[in-house]
Amino acid sequence: MKEFKLKTDSTLMRCELFDEPSLEFASDRLHLCPKRGITLFGPRPLDMGKRHPETIRVGFIGTGESIESARHWLELCSEGVPGDDKNYLFPGFKVDRGFFSELSFEDEIIEKLTVRETESLGQHRTRREQFEQTVTLLSDKLRLLAQRDRSPEYVVLALPKNLVKAYGKVEYYDKSIGQIHRDLRRAIKAVAMKYRIPTQILLQRTTEATPNSKDVDHRSKCAWNFFTSLYYKVGGIPWMPSGLNGGTCYVGISFHRVLGSKNSSYFTGLAQAFDEQGNGLVLRGQDFVWDVSKHGNSPHMPAQLAEELVSLVLKRYRDEMKQSPRRVVIHKTTEYWLEERQGLQAALQGIDQFDLVAVRPTGDVRLLRDARYPILRGSYISLGEMHLLYTTGYISALQAFPHGHVPLPLKLTDHVGDSSIKDILRELMVLTKMNWNSANFGGLLPITLRFSSLVGDIMKEVPRNVDPLPQFKYYM
């Protein structure tokens, strides 16, 4: 850790560079980079027995052409994909390389979308009916796969391009709840939960891309993202964080509006919880009213609902871990109002230690570096009561600046609890590297907050009378 101090008028500015957190891979070996760690050592559970999936039964839904295209792309990428100056090579997905797992394809776990079925979607009168029938059709195909004697462990939705173009999004007006916007991906994720099969949409523009294709990432990057999330969704942990305290439960709290423009004052609290090994849960609280015109755009929970939401998280943690956490860290992007904080602390009465933390990206203050590249990731600046942490920026370990934009720092806007500010920020650095939906080096936000809007959008599609599955893999 490097540090220097600068006196500005009567305030002392302190600048430090936090060490880059390491990640754990097979046989407890460490590396800073997810992609290089997987390539050199293999995924963390490789020597942990049942936690490592050796063979994965992959099912498909799509037209004959789109399924063939998707399967061909998976087979090519499984062998490995060369990189270039900007993209690290993908080592493959085979028993002898990369993730040391393999995919199993069987005709018995394929459900085709026939010409008659896809053409019938356009015969419905309204865009709403067409969208809803598309969701119903895909749901029926998932149901048939789930009812097989040997059902797939993972389903690729190889949706044909014409179906995605025609029915991928819809807006309509409902008399009871107002204007509605819906997205096919979110709707599929919601309906797929009842079949308990992880899914992934794989578009033809990805599987049929050429090196000159626009708006499609390099094939090695696509392969890294696809296979990393696949490995996680079927029960593996590609890498584990190093440096987090054992027995700690990390919780991100966010809010989303209830579906429909007439419900603009109704919000739902969401909690995304992770343990120090990366096991993730998503839990939904009760709806509550928030008057945006009176209180602003950032909702805050009443004390009772805040207590109920965190109590739900702790109960689920105890059910899974067979013990209570010794410490709980709660992340939000807005400050804690008094009533909200009182509710959270009431839920944490039986916990030895806790920290309530609020962080958000800010463009109000930036630090400029007198060098070719921008400020380094891991830079920490304190000026009086202001604390900034750069979780993006130039990465010394890669000798690269992969983000392509002026980095924004995270600003610590609120903290109540037992840990020091430096320890809180060091944990945030680790948590930015726990995104198993890709294999990127790190991100702007910690995993507890990174997917809050995406998870909220999926949760809108889950009816109130249906209990959503808590496992994080169903929201990826």
Q: Grade residue 3 by pLDDT with cuts at 50, 70 and 90.
A: low
Judging by DSSP bridges, how do beta strands 386-389 and 410-417 pair with one another?
Answer: antiparallel
User: Which amino acid belongs to residue 266?
Assistant: Y
- Give 387's strand partners: 382
Report how far Cα 193 is from the mean position of its chain's Cα atoms: 16
- Spatial CB neighbours of 103, under 8 Å, sequence gap ≥ 6: 55, 56, 58, 74, 78, 93
| CA distance readout (Å), 347 to 267, 310, 336, 354, 449 | 21, 6, 15, 11, 20
Q: What's this model's pTM, rounded to 2 decimal places?
A: 0.93
Q: Token pair of 458, please?
A: 């999926």
In 193-244, alpha helices (H): 204-207, 219-233
The pLDDT value recorded for residue 367 is 73
Q: Grade residue 404 by pLDDT with cuts at 50, 70 and 90.
A: low
Q: Token pair of 131, please?
A: 């969208």
How many Å apart are CA 193 and CA 129, to the nearest integer? 22
Reported as a single tens digit per residue, the pLDDT across 5-38 is: 555 555 788 889 999 999 999 999 999 999 999 9
User: Does pLDDT of 268 surpass 70?
Assistant: yes
Give, for 389, the enclosing helix (H) or strand (E): strand 386-389
Mean per-residue pLDDT for 355-360?
98
Reported as a single tens digit per residue, the pLDDT across 64-79 is: 999 999 999 999 999 9
Question: How many CA atoms, within 13 angstroms, populate the side-chain half-sphere of residue 231?
Answer: 33
Q: What are the b/e assignments for 385-410, b being 16+ CB within 10 Å?
A: eebbbbbbbbbeebeebebeeebbbb
- Give 174's strand partners: 178
Reported as a single tens digit per residue, the pLDDT across 288-327 is: 999 888 888 899 999 999 999 999 999 999 998 888 999 9
How many Å apart are CA 14 and CA 383, to the nearest integer? 7
Q: What are the b/e assignments for 137-167, b being 16+ CB within 10 Å?
A: bbbebbeebbeeeebbbbbbbbbbeebbebb
Query: Of 260, 258, 52, 45, whose CA–CA distance to 173 is shortest?
Result: 260
Query: Of 321, 278, 320, whose CA–CA distance to 431 is shortest?
Result: 278
User: Which amino acid belongs to residue 430?
Assistant: V
- The sheet carrying 23-24 orders its strands as 30-31, 23-24, 240-241
Q: Grade residue 277 by pLDDT with cuts at 50, 70 and 90.
A: confident
- The helix/strand/coil state of 74 is helix
